[in-house]
Amino acid sequence: MSDLTHFIGGRKVRGTGRFTDLYEPMTGAVIGRAPLAGAADVRAAVENARAAQPGWAAVNPQRRARVLMKFLELATRDLDALAEGLAREHGKTLADARGDIQRGLEVVEFCVGAPYLLKGGFTDSAGPGIDVSSMRQPLGVTAGITPFNFPAMIPLWMAAPAIACGNAFVLKPSERDPQTPLRLAELMMEAGLPAGVFNVIHGDREAVDALLDDDDVRAVAFVGSSQIAEYVYARACAHGKRAQCFGAAKNHMVVMPDADMGQAVDALIGAGYGSGGERCMAISVAVPVGQDTARALLEQLVPRVESLKIGLSTDPSADFGPLVSRAHLERVKGYVALGVEESARLLVDGRDFRMQGYEDGYFMGGCLFDEVTPDMRIYKEEIFGPVLSVLRPQSYEDALGLVNAHEYGNGVAIFTRDGDAARDFASRVQVGMVGVNVPIPTPLAYYTFGGWKRSAFGDLNQHGDDAFRFYTKTKTVTSRWPSGIKDGASFVIPTMS
């Protein structure tokens, strides 16, 4: 067992206050400790970031992009080791861990285009002898607060554009699986990033509040539950910071009567149970339209859920591994018990699953509810586990109404062969990311990622063009070079006429 450190000013800094144990989800064993930063630790990270940022901002965008290119090379070199460490600490399978890292690296690849993405505008002779130009400039010190479920992807989604834009960045990763983010910061340094530009502090609410209250932190990005997202957004805004905060989800998959049922079932299995359901884009609600569609869907879906293979993170044949912590395992099981109390019909119950030889691990099997209704808590609230609920609307309009009435609007999918239905659905559904015969419609790096309603707080999304807007401020310059002719004073708003 070893103690992790913070990463401040380009070096490892030992914790001096509280610590939290780190657990291996497969075994339940303690594998280390992480320090929990206090206000002084946070301040040290911010001061180092503030000192390093002006020099980094002065580096031209092309040279900043070269550092990111070198980081991509190093991360690819170490991909297997990164994935093994991530899988051990989080519990997801090795294949899923590699995917976690790869989706983060795709955003880094996009950010290599910073020289183009940071271009301003210029208008020659906007008025007599007057030129107008605009430029994007970095904000200064920025911060990210990331969740346990994607310990590589989401930190890179935040850090890469922030750094590419010339900012310094302070990361507060989840205290449940902080080793991978720490390693990513070290690789950034190896790639040539100056000391202090990328700092990592571990911690809980005390560290979060210190970041939110620090006047030198100009922007905060957050991913987690909606309750905390709203809290972070409100507190950050109260201190005059920019904030983009992403919260919970309840992602529906509408299955139309004309859908390819085999394809729909495959999609529900992968999107509903992959990574143990610990994804903000996981499908947690199946919405077959009409009773005949529901019967046909469940006829194939039930045996597939029953035959899911739950295994070790290192087992390449496992469909998913353990959940991230014992507390989270008990929370998910509690929701299953609640669903039974609410009179939902539990068709598959995976709560009693035990992994032979790993009885202390955080394992459970897949669960499947039928006859769920919109008033049930298992429908209204995010479970974040291998639990799928089936609702049975009678018509397409009823299905669309269900999705639009839900308080969360992160992702949604429709499975159909009807182009008119798909087009109408994509136009009318009140959700930020829509899939047509695609169950997890996570956009590619050059589009933006973000939900609607209580799934997101703030005006700009993650990655894509929005990331470069979020991490920069626009300055507009109106200039005139007088020829020596005196025009006299003007007492009206200039019109450039």
- 239 and 290 part of one domain: no
- 292 and 232 part of one domain: no
Task: List the catalytic residue out of 111, 165, 245, 280.
Answer: 280
Q: How many domains does the chain have?
A: 2
Distance in angstroms (rounded) separating the CA atoms of residues 61 and 280: 33
For residue 487, being part of any structural domain is answered with no
For residue 494, being part of any structural domain is answered with no
Q: Return the CATH number at 65.
A: 3.40.605.10
Residue pLDDT tens, the chain, 497 long: 589 999 999 999 999 889 999 999 999 999 999 999 999 999 999 999 999 999 999 999 999 999 999 999 999 999 999 999 999 999 999 999 999 999 999 999 999 999 999 999 999 998 888 999 999 999 999 999 999 999 999 999 999 999 999 999 999 999 999 999 999 999 999 999 999 999 999 999 999 999 999 999 999 999 999 999 999 999 999 999 999 999 999 999 999 999 999 999 999 999 999 999 999 999 999 999 999 999 999 999 999 999 999 999 999 999 999 999 999 999 999 999 999 999 999 999 999 999 999 999 999 999 999 999 999 999 999 999 999 999 999 999 999 999 999 999 999 999 999 999 999 999 999 999 999 999 999 999 999 999 999 999 999 999 999 999 999 999 999 999 887 656 677 777 766 55
- 156 and 192 part of one domain: yes
- 69 and 202 part of one domain: yes
For residue 297, being part of any structural domain is answered with yes
For residue 134, being part of any structural domain is answered with yes
Residues in the chain, total:
497
- 119 and 182 part of one domain: yes
Residue 276 DSSP one-character state: G
Distance in angstroms (rounded) separating the CA atoms of residues 56 and 63: 10
- 148 and 269 part of one domain: no
For residue 441, being part of any structural domain is answered with no
Q: Return the CATH number at 385.
A: 3.40.309.10
For residue 486, being part of any structural domain is answered with no
- 134 and 282 part of one domain: no
Distance in angstroms (rounded) separating the CA atoms of residues 208 and 202: 10
- 98 and 153 part of one domain: yes
Closest by Cα among 412, 118, 387, 427 to 272? 387
CA 90 to chain centre: 15
For residue 156, being part of any structural domain is answered with yes
H and E: helices and strands count for the chain: 16, 23
Distance in angstroms (rounded) separating the CA atoms of residues 461 and 463: 7
- 318 and 427 part of one domain: yes
The answer to whether residue 165 is catalytic is no
- 296 and 432 part of one domain: yes
Cβ neighbours of 1 (radius 10 Å): 9
For residue 186, being part of any structural domain is answered with yes
Extract the tokens encoding 321.
Answer: 């591994």
Spatial CB neighbours of 228, under 8 Å, sequence gap ≥ 6 = 222, 247
Containing structural domain, residue 420: 251-436
- 297 and 409 part of one domain: yes
- 114 and 209 part of one domain: yes
CA dihedral 24, 27, 30, 31 (to 10 degrees): -50
